[in-house]
Structure 1
């Protein structure tokens, strides 16, 4: 049976760069973490940009190799990012909340996912007043520890919400290549990129985006 966009029951939405304005905060927090370990962030920033969307601890494992160093860098990153959140530097992208509410009103279940650890995710949700906006939010640890580009968070959303009967009734939406890959690997019926974050249309399409939207505000209309 052919599935159409109208069949979408579950929408798995990324946070930073997709529904939440990043404003370079990830890079700022990363630079603070690198300096904390006595490393030069300039030599590492290209890797950080290329792997946006991946779980942060795996980025640090790649950069620092040694597990204790990676864990220390991750803690420093979380602390720096939390400070930026406390300073009021985090805001919702235009139309994001309205899009989520519209999807909800159409009977679709929305799940918010992130590559950040749970304390950072919770701090962002609290800063935006989004704690009760969706029924489920997921970070890599909630899905067994593997973040994007693995499909685990998408499949965890599918299993935990029981909102869809078939993975083809799932839409995965994000601003990075890794978001797209996680959607493709999960077998999602819709894999859509948005141009409000890390990667451009070409990179998103190359990683499997079936459609590219200017922003998440266009999503309810795109799903129909």
Structure 2
């Protein structure tokens, strides 16, 4: 397949996570009154790890069960993650930038998708100097649900005027990424092993391929 569009996840796929999500979550949930010593913390952390790739506000709603508390925790998460990014603790996955430039040079459109809020996504792009690297960057928001819903992929297809969803390839490091790509009708939905997901988990979610890294994506598409 020669794709018209490749939709790439960020943290864990094109951007090294290195525990930043967990660190930001720990701070955020602490602001909601749940410390690391709290009996609820291990189960909450396990849920965060299980739902990697999903919209963070959705995760906090599930954990806290009350909208105001969820919004406050999500805002605290965004602040914590942005601070870590600004401190230089944000690096690209080796070869990811080269992959994106090569795809675009071949006439393939590239979109970033994320489970982070738009402000957090922008902070990452700014820290890496990636504002203009891809054709489009999308995050969950009004009218666009987060993963595992297909909205991020479909919104990218609409905005970048893709002719057929079967000419979309998706790559991400979590089962949520895989489910989102499949729900959108993409022909290639690749799981990558540089982030939170395992080969068994990605395969169980239905990944069409499992790659060691996003670096392997161009050769797969060729």
TM-score class, shorter: over 0.9
Quote the RMSD (CA, aligned, Å). 0.9
Partner of 2:83: 83
* Aligned positions of 1:63-142 closer than 5 A: 63-141=63-141
Partner of 1:8: 3
Partner of 1:160: 159
Deviation for aligned residue 1:219? 0.7
* Aligned positions of 1:152-191 closer than 5 A: 152-162=151-161, 164-191=162-189
2-side partners of 1:68 and 1:137: how far apart? 28
Deviation for aligned residue 1:42? 2.8
Q: Deviations over 1:104-135 (max 9, x none)?
A: 11110000010000110000000000001012
- For normalisation by structure 1, the TM-score amounts to 0.95
Q: Which runs of 5+ in 1 are unaligned?
A: none
Deviation for aligned residue 1:208? 1.3
Count of aligned positions:
217
Partner of 1:206: 204
SS at match of 2:126: helix
Deviation for aligned residue 1:152? 0.4
Partner of 1:148: 147
1-side partners of 2:203 and 2:99: how far apart? 22
1-side partners of 2:203 and 2:43: how far apart? 28
- For normalisation by structure 2, the TM-score amounts to 0.96
2-side partners of 1:181 and 1:99: how far apart? 23
Partner of 1:32: 27
SS at match of 1:127: helix
